[in-house]
């Protein structure tokens, strides 16, 4: 069964809580394991939090897309680039830098999403902003 969602939400962390749960439930419905479904929940949470924190202002909106079929689930998160002047390639460069074990920040995309996703990429959006895509295969 193919399932596609496109959700636009105000850039507020509170809006991300039901979206990460939605990703988990979609994964379960598509027959993904409990572990992979939890990975999807974490991926959506981390990429959406990143979009709110680094690519948004109070009035911004974030778009989350989920494309699911029986073999893989792909998520795409688009921010408006408000407050962020870095290009996707510069962010990717930063994500290759190591984070000390005791660091207080920097684990979301760099360690969690990269480890939990089978495919992961960042691209520049036309008109500003970043799109983060991540795919988890069954």
Partner 1 sequence: MSDITITSSELLVGTQLLKFSGQLDETNIEEQAKKVYKIMEEGAKNLVFDFSELTYLNSKSIGYIADWQQKISQKGGRLVIIGAKENIFDILDVVGLTNIVTMVDTVEEAKKTV
Does residue 115 belong to the site contacting partner 1 (CB under 8 A)? yes
Alpha-carbon span 73 to 114, nearest angstrom: 15
Between residue 33 and residue 72, which ones bind partner 1 under the rule CB under 8 A? Answer: 34-35, 38-39, 41-42, 45-46, 49, 52
Q: Report the C-alpha gap between 119 and 99 in whole angstroms.
A: 21
* Given 1, 58, 101, 126, the residue binding partner 1 (CB under 8 A): 101
Among 2, 59, 85, 105, binds partner 1 (CB under 8 A): 105
Q: How far apart are CA 110 and CA 121, in angstroms?
A: 11
Question: Looking at 16, 23, 77, 117, which residue binds partner 1 (CB under 8 A)?
Answer: 16
Residue 2 vs 35, nearer CB to partner 1: 35
Among 7, 63, 88, 111, binds partner 1 (CB under 8 A): 111
Rounded CA-CA distance 15/59 in Å is 14
Count of residues of this chain found to bind partner 1 when the rule CB under 8 A is applied: 25
Do residues 60 and 79 touch, judged by C-beta distance below 8 A?
A: yes
| Rounded CA separation 37/127 (Å) | 33
Are 88 and 50 in contact by the 8 Å Cβ rule? The answer is: no
| Residue numbers at the binding site for partner 1 (CB under 8 A) | 13-14, 16-17, 34-35, 38-39, 41-42, 45-46, 49, 52, 101-105, 107-108, 111-112, 115-116
């Amino acid at each position: 069964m193919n399932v596609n969602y496109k959700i636009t939400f105000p850039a507020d962390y509170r809006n991300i809580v039901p979206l990460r749960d939605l990703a988990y439930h979609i994964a379960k419905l598509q027959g993904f394991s409990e572990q992979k479904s939890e990975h999807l929940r974490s991926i959506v949470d981390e990429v959406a939090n990143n979009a709110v924190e680094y690519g948004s202002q109070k009035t911004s909106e974030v778009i989350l897309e989920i494309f699911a079929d029986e073999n893989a689930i792909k998520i795409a998160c688009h921010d408006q680039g408000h407050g962020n002047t870095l290009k996707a390639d510069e962010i990717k460069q930063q994500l290759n830098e190591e984070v000390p074990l005791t660091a207080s920040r920097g684990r979301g995309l760099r360690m969690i999403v990269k480890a939990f996703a089978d495919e992961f990429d960042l691209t520049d959006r036309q008109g500003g902003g970043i799109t983060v895509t991540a795919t988890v295969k069954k």
